A and B are shown apart, each in its own frame.
Chain A
Amino acid sequence: KNEVEQSPQNLTAQEGEFITINCSYSVGISALHWLQQHPGGGIVSLFMLSSGKKKHGRLIATINIQEKHSSLHITASHPRDSAVYICAVRRGTDKLIFGTGTRLQVFP
């Protein structure tokens, strides 16, 4: 069993829909990251959080430390949001352990 599990693996949506991507982890962590990866490999860090909730534009990330669970929400989704969204947790020595990603496609 992977230490970081994401669901769903693939997600399609119509433009404007509210999207939720889930991440569960089984290890103790110091922080959790949400990352966005576009075709061609470039990775952008969206959020780093260790408690509560963060918001940036149409993106919202939440984490529940007791339940070892985090969610990434996208409001009013747009085709340019199409990408792979990756959850990663940080342990002790600062190395990240990554989930396998959620591939999101938003259609106009």
Chain B
Amino acid sequence: GAGVSQTPSNKVTEKGKYVELRCDPISGHTALYWYRQSLGQGPEFLIYFQGTGAADDSGLPNDRFFAVRPEGSVSTLKIQRTERGDSAVYLCASSPDIGQPQHFGDGTRLSIL
């Protein structure tokens, strides 16, 4: 498909485990964004990339969270030593360039038991 693809769509794991969430942006989109949405809330910004570099990571809640985009396309959000409070839907979006409308994936629903 031509949209933003996120995998897995659902992830259930135990407290303390490590998780990786993947985002495949629309081909050719240089900007990629990660957001987190808790139940009943609007999404919250985590980090965004312009090309391979993290242009703004001010939304990452602590150093357990890290994201990479090594080739300027696919991005992986990594969470170490997961906590129950990390349970949320993690959304990825991409845009052709900064300042243009963002196209969202369907999200990964992460549940920490």
| Residues in A lying within 8 Å of B, measured CB to CB | 4, 30-31, 33, 35, 40-45, 48, 86, 88, 90, 93-101
Contacts and interface: CB of A to CB of B under 8 A. Distances in A.
Contacts of A97: 45
B98 A94 contact: yes
Given A94-B98, A94-B99, A95-B59, 9 more contacts: A33-B102, A41-B91, A41-B107, A42-B107, A43-B91, A45-B102, A88-B43, A94-B31, A96-B43
27 contacts: A33-B102, A35-B104, A41-B37, A41-B107, A42-B106, A43-B91, A43-B93, A43-B104, A44-B104, A45-B101, A45-B102, A45-B104, A86-B42, A86-B43, A90-B99, A93-B48, A94-B31, A94-B56, A94-B99, A95-B33, A95-B45, A95-B56, A96-B43, A96-B102, A98-B44, A100-B40, A100-B42
Contacts, number: 62
Contact of B48 (A31, A95, A98): A95
A8 B101 CA distance: 25
B56 A45 contact: no
Contacts of A35: 104
Interface of B: 31, 33, 35, 37, 40-45, 48, 55-56, 58-59, 89, 91, 93, 98-104, 106-107, 109
Contacts of B58: 95
Given A41-B89, A43-B91, A100-B42, A94 B48 contact: yes
Contacts of A4: 42
